[in-house]
Amino acid sequence: MKRSFLLLVCLAAVTFVGARISRGQSDVISADSLLKQMEAAYAAAKSYRDTISVRFRNPDGGEGAQAECKVWFVRPDDFRIDGQSRRAPDAPPKREVIWANAATARSWSTTNPVTMRSKVQLAGSKMFGTYAYHIPTLLEASYGGPHRLHQLEQPTLVGEENFEGVECYRIRGDWQGDPYEVWLGKTDFLVRKITAYYKGYGMEEIHRDIAINEVISKETFEFAPENEAAPQKTKASK
């Protein structure tokens, strides 16, 4: 009787330990799995908007180019990215816009007239910079080329950090040979921050005012460059 009782206790202990080990293995989080969840989160979004702030640093550590842009997207084909950049803090600003709906895709900048496009294609568009590529191409794969953010090479989960009130995973990897780090929201798997280094130049890309699956008016995608470019009349000029 005593031996039977001891045997039962041992079996229960083994079962408990086995369950803990099994649960522990299932709880292991990998960078690859997080990147897949990131890809799925953006692919599932019916609508999306955010504001992107970007700062570059020159190899000598000095302030370089900077940009601020907004992104709006409504599935299946309403899209607009509208940004203003400066090559240096004291350089004149340049505004660039790509906007599209089911009928057309167009681009415009303060240095180029409206151009009709067969589709939205950020890779090779000669507009914006890498910072304007990462999130739109997660929302819609056809906007990008063969490589997108969820395909970071040799990704590694390096820790967790609160960024501007959002608990994030930090993932390091390579983007076509350049070192990247991504701050990924722990609950929604949306990108809050990216840092990268390109041949000595540093980039910090921050995403704020993020909203998904909210109503975005059709007027947002009816951009009119002629209204933006025309100088405003003053009372004296009337």
Contact between residue 79 and residue 70 where contact means Cβ atoms under 8 Å apart: no
Q: Across residues 203-218, what is the average pLDDT?
A: 97
Report the DSSP pairing between strands 153-163 and 166-175: antiparallel
pLDDT-based confidence at residue 116 (cuts at 50, 70, 90): very high
Segment 54-76 mean pLDDT: 94
**Residue ranges covered by each domain of the chain:** 30-224
CB 198, CB 58: distance < 8 Å: no
Q: What is the pLDDT of residue 12?
A: 43
User: Using one digit for the tens of pLDDT, what is the confidence trace for 157-201?
Assistant: 999 999 999 999 999 999 989 999 999 999 999 999 999 999 889
First CA to last CA distance, the chain? 107
pTM reported for the whole predicted model: 0.83
Options 2.30.31.20, 3.20.20.60, 2.50.20.10, 2.40.30.10; CATH of 30-224: 2.50.20.10
Helix (H/G/I), strand (E/B), else coil: 140: coil
* % residues pLDDT > 70 (the chain): 84
